[in-house]
Amino acid sequence: MIRLGLTGSIGMGKSTTARMFAEEGCALWDADAAVHRLYASGGAAVEPIGAAYPDAVEDGAVSRAALRGIIARDPQALKRIEEIVHPLVAQDRAEFLDRTEADIVVLDIPLLFETGGEREMDAVACVTVSAEEQERRVLARSSMTREEFRQIRDNQMPDAEKRARSDFVIETDTLEHARAQVQAVVETLRRGWQRNA
C-alpha cells in the first residue's frame, strides 16, 4: 500500500482533487471529515473537550462556533484542543489504514507539512492555483470576507513552500487539467515509484 499525502491551502481545489483520486480507485481518508466524526454526538472528542471546555459542547456535540469563540478569548486554548484532538485523528487514520485494501491510500490533510505528517507518507501531492484564482474561489463560495480569507491564508505555510516540499504538484486551473495530472500521479505510483532519498 502506498500512502499519498494530499495537501494544499484554502481554495486550491483539494476536495475536488481528492474525489478525482477516489475515481481512479484510490482509498480516501479526509482529516476534516475525521474531525467532524469526532465532534459529532457520540464522537470520541466530545467527552474530553467537554471536560476541558464545558461551554464547547452543545446538544451532545462539540460546537465549532463555540470553540472558535473560546480560542478567540484564550490563545492557549488552541494548543490544548489540538493536544486532545490530534491523537484521536491519528487513531482514526490508523484504523482506516488497517481496514483498507486499496493499493493507494490518499490522505487528505490540509496541515500536512505544518504537523510533520509528511514523514509518515510515501509521497506527497500538493494542489495549487494562482493566488488570484484562489482568492476568487474562496470569496465566491463562502461568506468569508477578503480580510478573513487573507488572515487564514497568511497563517498557512506559503503555497510556494508546499510546492517545493512535495513530490507531485497538481495545478487545478481547470477540471480537465487537474484530472489528467491526477491520472499521471496514480500511474506513476502504480508503476512502483520510489521517492529519491
Residue 69 makes CB contacts below 8 A (sequence gap 6+) with none
R_g over Cα of the chain: 18
CATH number given to 1-26+104-197: 3.40.50.300
Residue 71: predicted pLDDT: 86
> What is the model's pLDDT at position 145?
86
Cα separation, 14 vs 23, in Å, equals 14
Hey, where are the domains in the chain? 1-26+104-197, 32-101
In the prediction, which pLDDT does 196 show?
Answer: 63
pLDDT given at position 111: 86
CA proximity to 40, closest of 22, 58, 28, 55: 58
Helices 146-155 + 131-141 axis angle, to 10: 130
Q: d(Cα 153, Cα 156) in Å, to the nearest integer?
A: 5
**pTM of this structure:** 0.86
CATH class of segment(s) 32-101: alpha beta
What's the pLDDT tens digit per position in 12-34? 999 999 999 999 999 999 998 99
CB 10 within 8 A of CB 152: yes
DSSP 3-state of 192: coil
Q: Where are the beta strands (DSSP E) in 11-130?
A: 27-30, 57-58, 61-62, 104-108, 123-128
Residues in the chain with pLDDT values less than 70: 195-197
Read off the DSSP letter of residue 157.
Answer: P
Local structure of 17: helix, strand or coil: helix
Distance of CA 105 to the CA centre of its chain: 14
